[in-house]
Chains A and B, each alone.
Chain A
C-alpha cells in the first residue's frame, strides 16, 4: 500500500516536473520562433523531437500561418524552402518536393491520406488552413510507414483540438482581391473526459482573367464557392483508453463559360459547372496498455466526387457530362512497445478497400490492399541512433511492394547532429493507368488502362477497328513506380534562437509509367496502353537558416539547388537520336547533353528570405517574405523535340514580395497585407496574382 502511494506520489511529482519543463520549453519556443525541441509525429509515427529525427523535417505552427495571413494550404506551402507549387493542365496547384511532382507527395490530414486526384493533383486550395494546428513536412521517402505516394515526401496536416476546459474559439473574416471572401468560425473545449472541436468555413471568389487572357472566353481562374465543415469528439473511457471520432465535409462549386464545338462543327458558348465533394469519417481507439506499450486502431472512410457538366448557353441542352467517384475504407492497427531501455518498436497492419467509378473507366473493379509495417528505433552506440523499418504492401491490381528504410543519426555534441538515410518509396499505378477506356472524340486515338487492355483490344479487333497489333498486351501487370533515395544532412543549433540545417538529397525513380502504342486502328490512329519504362532522377541540396536577432525579430533564409532529369532522354541524346528543329530555318540539328534542361517545372535555384517582427508591448507583428523561383521549363516546346532545350522554353525567374501586418486590440486581431507587392506576372501560372491585397479580422472567445 505504502509502495503504491509512493509510486503515485512519484508519478504526480514527475508529471508536475514535466509540466514545468513543458512550460519552460514553451517560453523558449516563443523566443526562438522555431525550435529543435518541437515534436513531430509523422517521421516515425511516434512522438519525437525534430532534432532526433534523422531526416529533413519542417514544422509550420498555426501561429506562423496566422502571421502570413493565409487562408488556403497552397499559399502556405508556396513560401517554404524546396517546395514549388505547380499547376496541372486544369490549373490545380500541386506541390513539388525535392524535384518530384505532386503525384509523388503524400498529403495526410490527421494521419489519413487525402484522396481525389484530378490530373494527378490534389487541389491544395481545397484545404483550408483556418482549422490547422500545425503542418508537419517530412522530405524524402516515407513509404516504409505510409505506403504509396510517399516518395518525395509527406505533408501531414494536424487539425486543431479543444485545448482548455472553457469553451474557446475564433471567428475570422478575410476579404481579398477579386472578391475572394473567406469566413470561418471554430470552437472547442477539453474537459477531463470529453473533448470536442468544430469548424465551419466558407470561401468564395469571383474568379479572374489574367492580363494575358483578358479577352478570353473562359476566366483564368473560374468563380467558385467552397464550404468546409469538420468536427472532432474524444472521450476518455478511463485513464488508459480513449475513443475518438472525427468527420469532415467539403463541397465546392465552380462555374465558367467555355466555347465548344457542336456536332455540326459550329462553335457555341456553353456553361461549364463543376462540383467537388469529399467527406470522411474516422473513428479511432487508443489504449495505453502500460507506460511501455500503446495500441491504436483507426478506421477511415472517405469519398471523393467530381462532376463536370457542360451545357449550351442558348438552349441549355447538354453538351457533355462526366464524373469521377472514388471511395476508400482503410483500417489500421498500430502497436508501440518500448523494449528494455534501448528499443522502441512499432508494428502495424491494416487493409484498404478502394473503388472507383468514372466516365471512361471500366467499371466494377475493387482495389484490395493489405499491409504490414515494422520499425525499430534503438541506440547503436552512445551518441549514434538507428531507425530501421520496412513496409510490405500486397495489392490485387498491381505487383506487391516491399519498402525498406534505414536511418542513422549521430549526435556529435549538444549543438550538432548529422544524419543519413537510405529508403525506398513507391507510387501505386493511378486508377486511369489501370482502368481507362477512352477514345478521343476529335482525334480518334484510344487509351486503355493496363488491366483492361487485353480484353478491350480483343473487343476492338472483333469489331474490325484494328488494322495491326504492334505489341500484344497479354496479361502484363503494371508495377508500382519505385524510388531509391538518399538523404544526408546536418542540424546545427549553436545558440538559442539560431538554427541551421543542410540536406543533400538524391532520388532515383524507376518504372515510371508512360503510354506506348500497342495497335494501329483502321482510322490510322493508335491504341495506347501503359507500360513501366522511364527512369528519372532528382538531386540537390537544401539549406535553411533561422536566426532570432533579438526577441521578437527573426530572420530566416532558405535555398534549394536542384537537378532533375530523364535518364532515357539523356541516353538517347548521348546516342545522337534526339534532334530539334530550328523554327526559323526548319532544319534539324542534334541536341547535346549540355542543351538538355531536364524535366519541366523544375527551378535549378530557388529560395526565400523572411523577416518576422513581433512587438509584444504594442501587440502588433509584421511579416515580410521574399520568395524566389529561378527560371524553369514552362512545358512549352518551341522546336519539335518535346524536351526542354531552348531558352524560349523557360519561364524567367522571379521574386515575389509578400507583406502581412497584424494588430491585436483586446479580443480582436486585425490583419492587412499584400502578396506580390511588385506586381510580378507569370503568364504560365495564373495563381501568381499581382498586388494580391487582403484585409481581415479575427475575434477570439
Chain B
C-alpha cells in the first residue's frame, strides 16, 4: 500500500514538474522585474508640506501642488504626522506587513488622497511618557504603505524616520529632548514599479 501510494505520488510529481517546465519554456511574456529599492532622507516637511515624485526621486515645487507631478506628500509642521497620496487620481492604503514581505501590492482597498493616513496611529506611534525615548514620534514597525500614483503605477513606501538626519532613536542625543534633532524631516524607503504591474 505504501509502495503504491509512493508511486502515484512520484508520478504526479513527475508530470507536474514536466508541466511547469513546459509552461515556462513556452511563455513569451517576460516576468515582471522587481523595482530597485531606494531611500531618501531629510524630506523637509517641518515648515511646509513636502511634495515628492517617486519616479524621479525629487522633491516637487509646492507651486505644483495642484498638479499630478507628485505622488506622495508629507507634513510635519507643528509636530504633525500627516501623509497623503495625490488627490488627483492617487490613492493609498496602510498594510500590516514588513517592507520586504510585500512582494506584491494589494489589488484593492486603496483610499483616495489622505483618507488612509488620517488616523496616524495606524502608521506612526507617539511614545508619550510611558516608553523611552519619551515624547517621540516613531514609524510603526510592520506597516508598509501601498500607493497608487496618479498615472496608475504601484509603489510601496516605508517611513524610516520623522527627524532630521534619520537619527538612531536609541542614541543618548535622541533620548535627551534638549539634543534631539528637529522634527518634520521624513526619511523613507520606497520602490516603484514602472511597468504598471503590482509586483515588487
Contact = CB atoms under 8 A, between A and B. Distances in A.
Interface stretch (A30-38, A244-252, A576-584): A576-584
Contact of B139 (A445, A526, A640): A640
B160 interface: yes
B141 A445 contact: no
Nearest to A212: B172
A598 B131 CA distance: 14
Nearest to A634: B132
Main SS at interface, chain A: loop
Given A467-B118, A524-B120, A581 B79 contact: no
B70 interface: no
Given A587-B98, A588-B98, A635 B141 contact: no
A637 B142 contact: no
B175 to A, nearest CB: 8
B97 to A, nearest CB: 8
A589 B144 CA distance: 12
B79 A635 contact: no
Highest count of chain B CB atoms <10 Å: which of A259, A442, A470, A587: A587
A443 B127 CA distance: 12
A520 interface: yes
A319 B9 CA distance: 80
A520 B119 contact: yes
A267 B178 contact: yes
Contacts of A475: none
B99 interface: yes
Contacts of A580: 141-142
Interface in A408-460: 442-445
Contacts of B96: 577
A639 interface: yes
B75 A524 contact: yes
Interface in B106-129: 118-121, 125-127, 129
A586 B141 CA distance: 9
A636 B78 contact: no
Interface string A214-244: 0000000000000000000000000000000
Interface string A178-200: 00000000000000000000000
A638 B133 CA distance: 9
A468 B116 CA distance: 13
B142 A638 contact: no
Nearest to B132: A636
B199 interface: no
B138 interface: yes
B156 to A, nearest CB: 12
Nearest to A470: B119
Given A445-B126, A640-B138, A641-B142, 14 more contacts: A444-B78, A523-B80, A526-B119, A578-B142, A581-B139, A581-B141, A587-B98, A587-B99, A588-B100, A588-B101, A588-B142, A635-B130, A636-B132, A640-B139
23 contacts: A89-B129, A259-B178, A467-B118, A523-B78, A526-B120, A578-B141, A578-B142, A580-B141, A580-B142, A586-B160, A586-B189, A588-B99, A588-B101, A588-B144, A588-B158, A634-B132, A635-B132, A636-B133, A640-B125, A640-B139, A640-B169, A641-B142, A642-B127
